[in-house]
Amino acid sequence: MVKKIDYNRRPMPKQEPFERIKNFDEVALGYTEQLAVEEASRCLGCKKPLCMDGCPVAIDIPGFVSAIVERDFAAGIRKIKATNALPAVCGRVCPQEEQCEKTCVLGKKGEPVAIGRLERFLADWEASSGTIERPDVAAPTGKKVAIVGSGPAGVTVANDLALLGHEITIFEALHDAGGVLTYGIPEFRLPKAIVRREVEYVKSLGVKLHLDHVVGKTKTIDKLMETFDAVFVAAGAGLPWFLEIPGENLNGVYSANEYLTRCNLMKGFRFPEYDTPIKRPSRVVVFGGGNVAMDSARTALRLGADEVHIVYRRSRQELPARLEEVENAEEEGVIFDFLTLPVQLIGNEHGWLTDLECLRMELGEPDDSGRRRPVPIKGSEFKMKADAAVCSIGNSPNPLIPMTTPGLEVGRKGNIVADEETGKTSREGVWAGGDVVTGAATVISAMGAGRKAAKSIHEYLVNQKT
Amino acid sequence: MYAVVERQMIVPNLHEFTVEAPEVAESVQAGNFVIVRPDEMGERMPLSVADWDPEAGTVTSIFMQVGGSTAKLARLKPGDTIPTYVGPLGKETKIENFGTVLCVGGCYGIGSLYPIARALKAAGNTVHTLLEARSSFLLYWQDRFEKVSDSVIELTRDGTAGYKGHISRLGEILTLEKIKPDLIIVNGCTFLMMKASKVTEPMAVKTIVNMNPIMIDGTGMCGVCRLTVDGNVKFACVDGPDFDGHEIDWEEFLKRRQTYNPEEVHPLRKSGCVSHF
């Protein structure tokens, strides 16, 4: 019998917009078993599946999808975990529409299989089943590896190398593990309990986690090299960029990193129960168009803002954020001011932001990135009221390690130079990956870099003379 | 968790705070700071280091009780533990043989000034220390400074110890004491550092100040500690905390420091008599 092709994906149950802007709980509620099986059944089971090509960590996608169809969820999650230590995280924050789902054959005529949602379903199913399966860990090799940073890249390397029998210690600068997953991505998109769960899983493989340790300051890379056989640097994107326009040091102007860290890591939204304060202004303007801009705007709404604007210099088409996040923000009432460029921030006599001056833009010829270049329209200056502004235009890599590690080659933008295929740096025994190499990018690309580096580190360790 | 070794009020409102943190004690230098969190609900606060003992694995700071979070620190007793104590952070104070150095300290900055004076002396400088306070009962650690300085000068607003007046008298004091500094280093509250920088500018003596903005992570990630130095935006946590006092936009800095003043004292307003029963 020929299977009837179902072109429509099952929608994800979500909290209603009017409800969710009043809480920090997760917006997307996840598939039920029934919905997951129905969605998985849409998979055509291609002889030559293209979806896997789109995955930076090469998950056996057809394998886990067919396991869901057969309702063998334990087998499904086992397949994912063979190559991905963070399925609950990836199922939520990966840009699947640009990766696995982009190459799904169903996507040519209809909607691709919701691979990310199915991955999330299996991870959540395992967590709620109460028994977390662990792959076998190889016999100890006696080799010690230090990992700098407990974000997606660091955790991936820790997972891969721990399974191969190496002794792993992760050094984390902050007081909680997870890197950007903890301080950056908000609770309503990625609950911190899930990050904690995945970090606990990696710890259960024997990985040691050393918090409150700033490599480059508490100990240098050279110092670590005295006791470890290899070091993997995944220190993340450090210094936030500002627009470099007048008035950026006014009170009420935040980097997205500060705004989100106050809220997520420090739990400012629960002030005064938690001590770290965060302002709750009524008109908030966010600069930028990426996922972090969406996160900042939606956080502002939940903190009680009456009006939240996203000011972006290009048009909706060019927004780098995931479509799903843009739609969520629109549903929640975020106002988008496209083709708008802030040129000056204006404050009152006490140094607090009150207004911004902007220019209208129009799209001109395509630039190096292939996107049409925004060009200011002469005489189009106008003012907007704002009592808080959040700059969400990117970060440069953290400078602490390059500053304190002689012989480590650094690129023009302050990024650590590492081989794309192996993650090797200019220093023997030192690898690097994630945002500290590429500048701010995605969770999964950091994990992909971690995967490659882990392979290279393992080869180095087993070939090393003892 | 990090064990509190000592927490004692040494003069009204200023506390000496020693914590067991061997890895910090091993690599800390004068001018560095640490970030502490008093409990799991607490905020991250930068504290300049005032002393350390690598053998005992302990680090000491002096802090002033101002708002809710420092009040939490002030309630700690030896044997208590705190969840976060991370460092050393920031660039260390540049130490070399400058010739004659005047070290100016006030308030909690007297504490962080001490290891600077000690290192300068060890580097062969002639070190003069000027300690400033509202009144004699707010001065401390003079005995320690005596051991690492060629002279210790006191300056109190009410004249109960040493010279009477404020840092604005610095020029006159230097003439009277016959001190011609090649470098001035100021540690203390923002106001003292700003006033001192304004006084030393016409003297054309380089003046280094140890800035104390609001911070969260202390590693360059959040950018809340930014300030304008010589027209450029700098992050105090990774570019500083030491900067040239003549290049700082003080007005902007003072305003930024006040961002959370209402929230800082919020817990104190709520701690009326009722909450003690």
- Give the B-side interface with A, CB within 8 Å: 23-24, 27, 37, 41-44, 68-69, 72, 83-89, 216-217, 219-224, 226-228, 233, 235, 238, 249, 252, 255-256, 258-260, 263-264, 266-267, 270
CB contact (8 A) between residue A272 and residue B224? no
Q: How many angstroms away from the CA of A261 is the closest CA of chain B?
A: 7
**Model confidence pLDDT, tens digit, residues B132-178:** 999 999 999 999 999 999 999 999 999 999 999 999 999 999 999 99
* Residue extents of the structural domains in chain A: 17-129, 144-238+396-463, 242-393
Please state, in angstroms and rounded to a whole number, the distance separating the CA atoms of residues A165 and A171.
19
Q: What angle separates helix A443-463 from helix A152-163, to the nearest 10 degrees?
A: 40
**Model confidence pLDDT, tens digit, residues B185-209:** 999 999 999 999 999 999 999 999 9
CATH superfamily of A17-129: Alpha-helical ferredoxin (1.10.1060.10)
Please state, in angstroms and rounded to a whole number, the distance separating the CA atoms of residues A162 and A139.
10
State what percent of residues in chain A have pLDDT above 70: 99
Choosing among A183, A217, A270, A391, which should be mutated to test the B contact, i.e. which has the most B CBs within 10 A? Answer: A217
Cβ contacts of A402 within 8 Å, gap of 6 or more = A408, A410, A414, A416
Q: Which residues of A touch B256 (CB under 8 A)?
A: 249, 251, 351
Is the pLDDT at A331 greater than 90, yes or no? yes
Read off the pLDDT band of A448 (50, 70, 90). Answer: confident
Q: How many angstroms away from the CA of B226 is the closest CA of chain A?
A: 7
CB contact (8 A) between residue A273 and residue B41? yes
A-chain residue closest to B37, CA distance? A175
CATH superfamily of A144-238+396-463: FAD/NAD(P)-binding domain (3.50.50.60)
> Considering chain A, what is the average pLDDT of its residues?
92
CB-count burial class (<10 Å; 0-12, 13-18, 19+) for A211: middle
Q: What angle separates helix A256-263 from helix A291-302, to the nearest 10 degrees?
A: 50
- Please count the residue pairs, one from chain A and one from chain B, whose beta carbons lie less than 8 angstroms apart: 119
Q: What is the number of helices (H) and of strands (E) in chain A?
A: 16, 16
Give the position of tokens 């799904």.
Answer: A104
State what percent of residues in chain A have pLDDT above 90: 75
Please state, in angstroms and rounded to a whole number, the distance separating the CA atoms of residues B200 and A367.
51
Torsion of CA B19, B21, B26, B30, to 10 degrees: -40
CB-count burial class (<10 Å; 0-12, 13-18, 19+) for B141: buried
Give the pLDDT score at B223: 92
Give the pLDDT score at B270: 64
Please state, in angstroms and rounded to a whole number, the distance separating the CA atoms of residues A362 and A4.
46
CB contact (8 A) between residue B238 and residue A212? no
- Which candidate from A248, A276, A398 shows the least CB-CB separation from B219? A398
Least confident interval from A347-356, B109-118, B253-262: B253-262
Give the position of tokens 């220093």.
Answer: A427
DSSP string computed for A117-149: HHHHHHHHHHHHHS----PPPPPP---EEEEE-
Choosing among A150, A172, A210, A218, which should be mutated to test the B contact, i.e. which has the most B CBs within 10 A? Answer: A218
Which string of b and e fits B78-113 if b means at least 16 CB within 10 Å? eeeebbbbbbbbbbbbebeebebbbbbbbbbbbbbb
- Distances in Å between the Cα of A21 and the Cα atoms of A142, A155, A293, A298, B95 are 51, 32, 16, 8, 53
Asked whether the beta carbons of A336 and A310 are under 8 A apart, the reply is yes
Domains A144-238+396-463 and A242-393 share a fold: yes
Is the pLDDT at A466 greater than 60, yes or no? no
Is the pLDDT at A191 greater than 60, yes or no? yes
Read off the pLDDT band of A397 (50, 70, 90). Answer: confident
Give the position of tokens 């705190």.
Answer: B82
**Within 10 A of A337 (CB to CB), how many other CB atoms are there?**
16
Please state, in angstroms and rounded to a whole number, the distance separating the CA atoms of residues B210 and B227.
13
Please state, in angstroms and rounded to a whole number, the distance separating the CA atoms of residues A345 and A355.
6
Tell me how far the alpha carbon of residue A98 is from its chain's centroid.
14
Pairing of strands A430-432, A335-337: unpaired
Is the pLDDT at B267 greater than 80, yes or no? no
- Hey, is the C-beta of A9 within 8 angstroms of any chain B C-beta? no
- Which candidate from B222, B255, B266 shows the least CB-CB separation from A261? B222
- Which candidate from B216, B228, B270 shows the least CB-CB separation from A261? B216
Segment 345-364 of chain A within 8 Å of chain B by CB: 350-351
Is the pLDDT at B265 greater than 80, yes or no? no
Give the pLDDT score at A170: 97
Choosing among B34, B81, B91, B222, which should be mutated to test the A contact, i.e. which has the most A CBs within 10 A? Answer: B222
**Model confidence pLDDT, tens digit, residues A220-259:** 999 999 999 999 999 988 789 999 999 999 999 999 999 9
Q: How many angstroms away from the CA of A235 is the closest CA of chain B?
A: 10
Q: How many angstroms away from the CA of B215 is the closest CA of chain A?
A: 9
- Hey, is the C-beta of A222 within 8 angstroms of any chain B C-beta? no
Read off the pLDDT band of A365 (50, 70, 90). Answer: confident
Q: Which residues of B touch A266 (CB under 8 A)?
A: 43-44, 216
Give the pLDDT score at B66: 86
Q: How many angstroms away from the CA of B84 is the closest CA of chain A?
A: 6
B-chain residue closest to A349, CA distance? B255
Give the pLDDT score at B275: 53
Q: Which residues of A touch B83 (CB under 8 A)?
A: 175
- Which candidate from B72, B89, B255 shows the least CB-CB separation from A351? B255
CB contact (8 A) between residue B224 and residue A258? yes
Read off the pLDDT band of A35 (50, 70, 90). Answer: very high
CB contact (8 A) between residue B222 and residue A255? yes
- Hey, is the C-beta of A400 within 8 angstroms of any chain B C-beta? yes
Residue A148: beta bridge partners?
A171, A233
Which CATH topology does A242-393 take? Answer: FAD/NAD(P)-binding domain (3.50.50)
**Model confidence pLDDT, tens digit, residues A404-443:** 999 999 998 889 999 999 999 999 999 999 999 988 788 8
Structure tokens at B19: 């914590």
User: For A197-222, what is the mean pLDDT?
Assistant: 94
Is the pLDDT at B21 greater than 80, yes or no? yes
CB contact (8 A) between residue A398 and residue B267? no
Cis ω for the linkage preceding A272 (within 30 of 0): yes
**Model confidence pLDDT, tens digit, residues A277-312:** 999 999 999 999 999 999 999 999 999 999 999 999
Give the pLDDT score at B268: 67
A-chain residue closest to B2, CA distance? A212
Structure tokens at B258: 């006040």
**Model confidence pLDDT, tens digit, residues B61-115:** 999 998 888 999 999 999 999 999 999 999 999 999 999 999 999 999 999 999 9
Is the pLDDT at A132 greater than 90, yes or no? no
Please state, in angstroms and rounded to a whole number, the distance separating the CA atoms of residues A285 and B276.
42
Please state, in angstroms and rounded to a whole number, the distance separating the CA atoms of residues A103 and A77.
22
CB-count burial class (<10 Å; 0-12, 13-18, 19+) for A194: buried
* Domains contained in chain B, CATH given: 2-89 (2.40.30.10), 100-257 (3.40.50.80)
**Model confidence pLDDT, tens digit, residues A138-156:** 999 999 999 999 999 999 9
Q: What's the per-residue H, E or C state across B34-85?
A: EEEECCCCCCCEEEEEEEEECCCCEEEEEEECCCHHHHHHHCCCCCCEECEE
Q: What does the DSSP 8-state code read for residue A408?
A: -
What are all long-range contacts of A420-426, with beta carbons under 8 Å and residues at least 24 apart? Answer: A421/A452, A421/A456, A422/A452, A422/A453, A422/A455, A422/A456, A423/A232, A423/A449, A423/A450, A423/A452, A423/A453, A423/A456, A423/A457, A424/A456, A425/A233
Is the pLDDT at B276 greater than 60, yes or no? no
Cβ contacts of A277 within 8 Å, gap of 6 or more = A262, A268, A271, B43, B260, B263, B264, B266
